[in-house]
Amino acid sequence: MGVPVSELHKFVFEGLPVRGAIVRLTDAWQEVLRRRAANSATGAYPLPVQTMLGEMLAAATLMQSNIKFDGALILQIFGNGPVPVAVAEVGPDLGLRGAATINGPVPPDGDLGTLVNVNGHGRCAITLDPRTRHPGQQPYQGVVPLADADQVKFTRVSEMLAHYMLQSEQLETCLVLAADANLAAGLLIQRLPGQGAGNLSGRTISREDDGDEEVEDAYRRIALLASSLKQEELLTLDVDTILRRLFWQEALQRFEPLVGSQGPHFACSCSRERVARMILGLGQAEADAILAERGDIEVTCEFCAAQYRFDAVDAAQVFTHASQLAPGSSTPH
């Protein structure tokens, strides 16, 4: 039996400004792990890092599926722990990739606080990077701390993101996330914005339903039901069963699930040209020093483990044709 394909299910609660989605990353997630394990320079992720990155990828897929935006959603956390950086990136076609950098021993029971945010200055950034960028256009980015207003560190990715959505996007969100070696999964429930101020989705918000107690009560009830879902259940139950168990009393309108080429799938956007651009960024002196020491410049993609090798002739060409690689050229980034 092959690996089941990854799937994304979206739904709305009829008559209520509340939407939801469930993602199950199976083959896409296993591909992320397989490629990492095959990278001889890094080896496989330690368990706590695997859990954190899987949850980030599930969450980034849910968030990408909720916005109307032609570009990549990049969820990044950084701090000073044994995992200084972790990145989950999901394209508009739900192509996804992710990677975590490990720098030092990973505690076996490590969580977001002890892996990333040891000194309390850790951050979470969400970037929307448009597929085609006009000259001078900056990608949208929102940044929040990895701790709440009382400096209490978040231990879970779901906690951190619910806080992010509320603080940075004014969106009330309930998230349940879980990941193991076979599956990265998530449930998202979100109260829909109305008209007014702009936010992550480029949409405008004005809580028209503010003060509407019925809507408030309904959202509270649905969020409470959603948060009763255990991680173990998310990892073992199929989507129909989860929705039936949680929301059997609610009027759900479900949409056609996104699977296969329409659904979440592994995809890496690295290329030889991008690596060439990086070598250009090093400068000729640095590049020559590496060539003198090692004979060639070898770069392994941290996301997909693809290897790019530039010998002295290749490297010389990079600098000769520098103008064609200059930043701001039309190549997709």
Q: Where do contacts with Zn ion occur on this chain (CB under 5 A)?
A: 268, 270, 301, 303-304, 306
Minimum CB distance to Zn ion smaller for 226 or for 279: 279
Token code pair at residue 65: 């599926």
Minimum CB separation of residue 35 from Zn ion in Å reads: 8
For residue 122, give both structure tokens.
Answer: 């850790």
Nearer to Zn ion, 118 or 306 (CB): 306
Closest separation in Å from C-beta 268 to Zn ion:
3
Distance between CA atoms of residues 18 and 262, nearest Å: 24
Q: How far is the CB of 23 from Zn ion (least distance, A)?
A: 22
Residue 137 burial (C-beta neighbours within 10 Å; 0-12, 13-18, 19+): exposed
Shortest Å, Cβ 301 to Zn ion = 3
54-69 burial: b if 16+ Cβ within 10 Å, else e: bbbbbbbbbbbbbbeb
Q: For helices 239-247 and 213-227, give the axis angle rounded to 10 degrees.
A: 130
Q: How far is the CB of 267 from Zn ion (least distance, A)?
A: 9
d(CA 35, CA 19): 34
Task: CB nearer to Zn ion: give 32 or 222.
Answer: 32
Q: How far is the CB of 186 from Zn ion (least distance, A)?
A: 24
Helix, strand, coil fractions of the chain, as percent rounded to 5: 35, 25, 40
Tokens 């030092």, located at residue:
104
Tokens of 232: 């173990």
We find the least distance from the C-beta atom of residue 199 to Zn ion, in angstroms, to be 31
Residue 59 vs 304, nearer CB to Zn ion: 304
**24 or 277, CB closer to Zn ion?**
277
Can you give 88-117 as a three-state secondary structure string? Answer: EEECCCCEEEEEEECCCCCCCCCCHHHHCC
Query: Which one, 11 or 308, has the nearer CB to Zn ion?
Result: 308
Specify the residue, 125 or 270, whose C-beta has the smaller distance to Zn ion: 270
Query: CB 256: neighbour CB atoms within 10 A?
Result: 8
